[in-house]
Amino acid sequence: MKKLLVILGICGVVLACNSSDSSNENNGASDNNAASSSTAGEFDKGLELIAASDCTTCHAIDKKNIGPAYTDVAAKYDKNESNIEYLIDKIIQGGQGVWGEVPMTPHPDLSRDDAREMVNYIFSLK
């Protein structure tokens, strides 16, 4: 069941990305579209890691679930090395109290490099 939800989530993201790409082309913004595509490709690994983990159980891209939406996280923090390290630690160690009383599950088996890819993907949503 969990794998099915992850696959459906990935399909939704792909469909959403494809529909926004075509609307950009229709607006005569093909140069911006090319730049967006190359930028989006930089964060594919982070999205894949999120989809393959249990993150989507509590988080969604643009709406609050049990935990905050990824877009809300990106909006709350400036993208700088200090905040990137803070969020990497939150993903690996878990936590509670920043977004409410429901604790975030720790992910101690996740490497810092993989957590960094996830955080960079989240910041790409800003």
Q: Distance between CA 66 and CA 106 in Å, rounded?
A: 15
97-108 burial, b for 16+ CB within 10 Å, e for fewer? eeeeeeebeebe
Would you state the torsion angle of the CA atoms of residues 48, 58, 117, 70, taken in this order, to the nearest 10 degrees? 110
Which domains are present in the chain? 2-124 (1.10.760.10)
Which pTM does this prediction carry?
A: 0.68
How confident is the prediction along the chain (126 residues), in pLDDT tens digits per residue?
444 444 444 444 444 444 333 333 343 333 333 334 445 578 999 999 999 999 999 999 999 999 999 999 999 999 999 999 999 999 999 999 899 999 999 999 999 999 999 999 999 999
